């Protein structure tokens, strides 16, 4: 499985738009201890609040990877970024990116990497030799985040749950299934890029046997009722064999984003289908909470909305960004007996 | 989408084992009109009952593709097969195979193909630029075969249904999703090799808009309760948006083949889960019959077993290899009103 060398220098080039730089910004938010600094080519470039370093300064500070924390517009690296990246490779740092365009398609980078032995790492590329899923039970415990749709907080919720669990002394790992998550965790498998026959096997590989009290907190992908991405969610659900899952949703989202003919499914239907599929691999699987993105609610509306979810489903319902965050879900998890 | 040039010369090399030659034997069985002959290097080589031709004779008979109708043991082509294949390429015939090892990894073949302009076609390789699934409704009608497990007759049943429908003058196409099916159809998409994010889109691409009374008869893959391959089945089910499906099973199979810890699911559970998932895309989806492989039943046991299925599920139940084959299922399909 892919494993990245920390600490990182975050490279933002001259990208000024926050949304295009969100991979790097998310990495700095969740793993400040892994980031020695950032490289910004202009004063208006996106800013993660880290020390501004040149490549030489980053090397002196111990950086072992340069992470391109931004989206590539139009498929090509701006040529004025190359000198920095080539220099980093020459100094032995890996260069890491999650572009559709492979880093190995840029001859200057390949040459520099070959010379120093540094690596060009495309985190969209899954590992080779993933096995077919076995369905066999593994030791340790697993929690998966699932959604009523995509892009509503499955990764954020998993990271927040992991942080809360770790802060309580629970032995836990965050298991990443997408690009930003993989950068944050330093390892993982990009599930959406895995060939279909090996999806379940990839999820099994991602969450291996562990101590009985260990929790893997697994970043969900897609959604079981999503017209494009449901098979990815199914493979991840089967292979991760969750003991527990947290349902992620967004208050007020009426249709699947980008698939406007499809209404957002009912929360109960999503919980029930996840249970129906997961029970084949773990009869005791249960939903332990609801994590809702309430960005479109006012501060007055939020408490009533969350209380309504708690009443309807008999589960703790939180906005992970508000109040006590996901703590009530971890309370609920800890209050239960696990086999 | 992949499209092969007919007619074919089937190449069996010196493979004597029927099971290793089943791709070629299946092709000769279902598409004798597309096969001008077979090339066998020894008298004991597997025999599809076609005229034995040399490469030159096949070219004279109009063959446009040489199909390697066998499994490759150990990943390499025996070197004494190469002269025939090189000669075929030199004469302008395509060479077609479904090996894990790509034909393009054999330099002699690449050189010969480049010289003549003939193609090396690896039917395990899906087309490029498959879109993400849209979930949008397409015109025309679709029938999918689904299973309680793998390797129990989904391809055979789909081919038999297509043949029966065509013989009754129903406008129908067989849509192939696996290697042997693709050779038989002359086109198709190897679903199990598609990257997960594009599975649904691949199924949509496979069965495009058609005339309102046209039926696409789609070869199923995997099984929704299969511990390794369920996500492929889910993607195919979603993207094919079936109006009708036929449940395929095998009498007496108690466990998932090769996954012995998993009992074969109940037929009713399989029907219900297929309906539950497919209804999101076609509310009127229905199961129209059961096709059971009864090879392990005696002639005395078979009628009672099939009658029992008919009573329990209220659907025609057949062994596609016995009696009237799948005709009762097509009767049932034709007796219904379709939207």
Q: What pLDDT score does A1 carry? A: 72
Chain B partners within 8 Å of A232 (Cβ): 196-197, 231
Helix and strand element counts for chain A (H, E): 11, 15
10-residue averages of pLDDT along chain A (339 residues)? 91 93 94 97 96 98 96 82 97 93 93 97 92 97 98 96 98 96 95 95 98 98 97 98 98 96 97 98 97 97 98 98 97 96
Kindly state the helix (H) or strand (E) to which residue A330 belongs, with its residue range: helix A327-335
> Per-residue pLDDT tens for B71-109?
887 777 899 999 999 999 999 999 999 888 899 999 999
Among A194, A225, A276, the residue with its CB nearest the CB of B196 is A194
* φ, ψ of residue A99 in degrees (nearest 5): -80, 155
Tell me if A326 sits within 8 A of A160, measured CB to CB: yes
Looking at the complex, does the CB of residue B192 fall below 8 Å from at least one CB of chain A? yes
Query: In whole angstroms, how far apart are CA B89 and each of B69, B70, B166, B305?
Result: 17, 19, 35, 51
Q: What pLDDT score does B111 carry? A: 97
Chain B partners within 8 Å of A273 (Cβ): 276
Looking at the complex, does the CB of residue B8 fall below 8 Å from at least one CB of chain A? no
Domain boundaries, given as residue ranges, for chain A: 2-122, 141-335
Q: What angle do CA A263, A264, A268 make, to 5 degrees?
A: 125
Report the chain A residue with the minimal C-alpha distance to residue B240.
A227
Kindly state the helix (H) or strand (E) to which residue A184 belongs, with its residue range: helix A179-185
Helix and strand element counts for chain B (H, E): 11, 15
- Best mutation target, B200, B226, B231, B258, to test chain A (most A CBs within 10 A): B231
Among A135, A193, A196, the residue with its CB nearest the CB of B192 is A196
Chain B partners within 8 Å of A200 (Cβ): 227-231
> Average of pLDDT values for B145-163?
97
Considering only residues 140 to 169 of chain B, which have any Cβ-Cβ distance to chain A shorter than 8 Å? none
Considering only residues 123 to 142 of chain A, which have any Cβ-Cβ distance to chain B shorter than 8 Å? 132-136
- Give the helix, strand, coil percentages of chain A, each rounded to 5: 35, 20, 45
Q: What does the alpha-carbon distance between residue A40 and residue A54 come to, in Å, rounded to a whole number?
A: 9
Q: Provide the edge-to-edge strand list for the sheet that holds B286-293.
A: B172-175, B215-218, B141-147, B244-250, B286-293, B317-318
Kindly state the helix (H) or strand (E) to which residue B65 belongs, with its residue range: strand B65-68
Separation in Å, CA of A334 to nearest CA in chain B? 30
Q: What does the alpha-carbon distance between residue A75 and residue B194 come to, in Å, rounded to a whole number?
A: 23
Comparing C-alpha atoms, which of B250, B324, B308, B314 is closest to residue B288? B314
Report the chain B residue with the minimal C-alpha distance to residue A224.
B277
Among B200, B228, B261, the residue with its CB nearest the CB of A227 is B200
Chain A partners within 8 Å of B276 (Cβ): 273
Looking at the complex, does the CB of residue A195 fall below 8 Å from at least one CB of chain B? yes
Single pTM value for the model: 0.95
Chain A partners within 8 Å of B228 (Cβ): 132-135, 197, 200-201
Q: Does the N-terminal peptide bond of residue B326 adopt cis geometry, omega within 30 degrees of 0?
A: no
User: Would the pLDDT of B41 be above 80?
Assistant: yes
Q: What does the alpha-carbon distance between residue B186 and residue B170 come to, in Å, rounded to a whole number?
A: 20
Separation in Å, CA of B279 to nearest CA in chain A? 11
Q: What pLDDT score does B1 carry? A: 72
Q: Residue B280 and residue A136: Cβ atoms within 8 Å?
A: no
Separation in Å, CA of B132 to nearest CA in chain A? 6
Among A192, A232, A238, the residue with its CB nearest the CB of B227 is A238
Query: In whole angstroms, how far apart are CA A213 and each of A143, A145, A188, B268?
Result: 12, 19, 21, 37
Tell me if B107 sits within 8 A of B120, measured CB to CB: no
Separation in Å, CA of B194 to nearest CA in chain A? 6
Tell me if B48 sits within 8 A of B28, measured CB to CB: yes
* φ, ψ of residue A278 in degrees (nearest 5): -70, -25
Tell me if A205 sits within 8 A of A189, measured CB to CB: yes
A28-36 long-range CB contacts below 8 Å, 24 or more apart?
Answer: A28/A69, A30/A159, A30/A184, A31/A184, A33/A7, A34/A6, A34/A7, A34/A8, A34/A186, A35/A7, A35/A8, A35/A9, A35/A10, A36/A7, A36/A8, A36/A9, A36/A61, A36/A62, A36/A63
Residue A4, both tokens: 């990245």
Share of chain B above pLDDT 90, in %: 93
Mark A247-262 as b/e (b = at least 16 C-beta within 10 Å): bbbbbebeebeebeeb
Share of chain B above pLDDT 70, in %: 100
Q: Where are the alpha helices (DSSP H) in B146-252?
A: 154-167, 179-185, 199-206, 230-240
Spell out where chain A has E strands. 2-3, 8-13, 35-40, 65-68, 94-97, 120-122, 141-147, 172-175, 187-188, 215-218, 244-250, 255-256, 259-263, 286-293, 317-318
* CATH superfamily, with its number, for domain A2-122: NAD(P)-binding Rossmann-like Domain (3.40.50.720)
Q: What pLDDT score does A161 carry? A: 98
Q: Say if residue A188 is exposed, middle or buried (CB neighbours under 10 Å; 0-12, 13-18, 19+).
A: buried
> Per-residue pLDDT tens for B244-265?
999 999 999 999 999 999 999 9
Q: Residue A231 and residue B235: Cβ atoms within 8 Å?
A: yes
N-to-C CA span, chain A: 29
Q: Quick one: CA torsion of A195, A199, A205, A207, rounded to 10 degrees?
A: 140
Q: What pLDDT score does A289 carry? A: 98
Q: Give the bridge partners for B13, in sequence order.
A: B40
Q: Does the N-terminal peptide bond of residue B7 adopt cis geometry, omega within 30 degrees of 0?
A: yes
Q: Residue A228 and residue B280: Cβ atoms within 8 Å?
A: no
Separation in Å, CA of A199 to nearest CA in chain B? 7
- CATH of the domain spanning A141-335, picked from 3.40.718.10, 3.40.50.12170, 3.40.50.300, 3.30.930.10: 3.40.50.300
DSSP readout, B140-159? SEEEEEEESSSSSSHHHHHH
Considering only residues 222 to 261 of chain B, which have any Cβ-Cβ distance to chain A shorter than 8 Å? 225, 227-232, 234-235, 238, 259, 261
Q: What does the alpha-carbon distance between residue B236 and residue B155 come to, in Å, rounded to a whole number?
A: 14
- Domain A2-122 shares a fold with domain A141-335: yes
Q: What does the alpha-carbon distance between residue B191 and residue B123 come to, in Å, rounded to a whole number?
A: 11
> Average of pLDDT values for B116-130?
94
Q: What's the ipTM?
A: 0.94
Residue B242, both tokens: 């079936």
Q: Residue B227 and residue A197: Cβ atoms within 8 Å?
A: no
Report the chain B residue with the minimal C-alpha distance to residue A196.
B196
- Best mutation target, A177, A221, A228, to test chain B (most B CBs within 10 A): A228
Q: Residue B196 and residue A193: Cβ atoms within 8 Å?
A: yes
Chain A partners within 8 Å of B261 (Cβ): 135-136
Q: What pLDDT score does A77 carry? A: 87
Q: What does the alpha-carbon distance between residue A187 and residue A291 come to, in Å, rounded to a whole number?
A: 25
Chain B partners within 8 Å of A225 (Cβ): 280
Report helix, strand or coil for A307.
helix
Looking at the complex, does the CB of residue B196 fall below 8 Å from at least one CB of chain A? yes
Chain B partners within 8 Å of A196 (Cβ): 191-196, 199, 231-232, 235
Separation in Å, CA of A126 to nearest CA in chain B? 11
Chain A partners within 8 Å of B192 (Cβ): 195-197
Q: What does the alpha-carbon distance between residue A172 and residue B262 come to, in Å, rounded to a whole number?
A: 29
Q: Say if residue A32 is exposed, middle or buried (CB neighbours under 10 Å; 0-12, 13-18, 19+).
A: exposed
User: Would the pLDDT of B166 be above 80?
Assistant: yes
In sequence order, what are the residues at sequence separation of 6 or more whose Cβ sits closer than 8 angstroms to the Cβ of residue B295? B250, B251, B321
Q: Helices B199-206 and B230-240: crossing angle, nearest 10°?
A: 50
Kindly state the helix (H) or strand (E) to which residue A205 belongs, with its residue range: helix A199-206
Q: How many CB pairs under 8 A join A and B?
A: 104
User: Would the pLDDT of B51 be above 80?
Assistant: yes
Q: What pLDDT score does A67 carry? A: 97
* φ, ψ of residue B126 in degrees (nearest 5): -70, 160
């Amino acid at each position: 499985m892919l494993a990245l060398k920390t600490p990182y220098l975050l490279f933002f080039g001259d990208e000024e738009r926050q949304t295009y730089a969100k991979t790097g910004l998310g990495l700095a938010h969740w793993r400040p201890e892994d980031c020695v600094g950032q490289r910004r080519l202009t004063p208006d470039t996106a800013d993660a609040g880290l020390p501004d370093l040149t490549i030489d300064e980053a090397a002196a500070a111990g950086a072992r990877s340069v992470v391109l924390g931004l989206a590539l517009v139009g498929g090509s690296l701006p040529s004025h970024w190359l000198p920095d990246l080539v220099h980093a490779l020459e100094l032995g740092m890996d260069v890491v990116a999650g572009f559709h365009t492979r880093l190995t398609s840029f001859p200057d980078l390949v040459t520099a990497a070959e010379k120093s032995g540094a690596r060009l790492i495309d985190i969209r590329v899954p590992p080779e030799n993933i096995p077919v899923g076995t369905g066999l039970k593994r030791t340790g415990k697993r929690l998966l985040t699932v959604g009523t749709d995509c892009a509503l907080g499955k990764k954020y919720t998993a990271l927040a749950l992991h942080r809360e669990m770790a802060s309580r002394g629970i032995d836990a790992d965050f298991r990443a299934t997408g690009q930003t998550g993989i950068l944050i965790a330093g390892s993982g498998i990009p599930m959406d890029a895995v060939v279909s026959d090996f999806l379940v096997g990839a999820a099994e590989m991602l969450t291996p046997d562990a101590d009985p009290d260990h929790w893997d907190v697994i970043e969900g992908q897609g959604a079981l009722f999503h017209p494009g991405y449901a098979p990815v969610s199914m493979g991840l659900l089967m292979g991760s064999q969750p003991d527990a899952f947290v349902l992620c949703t967004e208050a007020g989202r009426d249709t699947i984003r980008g698939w406007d003919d499809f209404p957002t499914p009912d929360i109960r239907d999503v919980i029930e289908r996840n249970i129906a599929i997961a029970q084949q691999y773990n009869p005791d699987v249960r939903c332990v909470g609801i994590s809702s993105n309430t960005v479109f609610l006012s501060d007055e509306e939020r408490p009533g909305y969350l209380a309504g979810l708690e009443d309807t489903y008999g589960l703790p319902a939180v906005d992970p960004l508000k109040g006590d965050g996901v703590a009530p879900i971890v309370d609920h998890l800890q209050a239960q007996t696990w086999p």
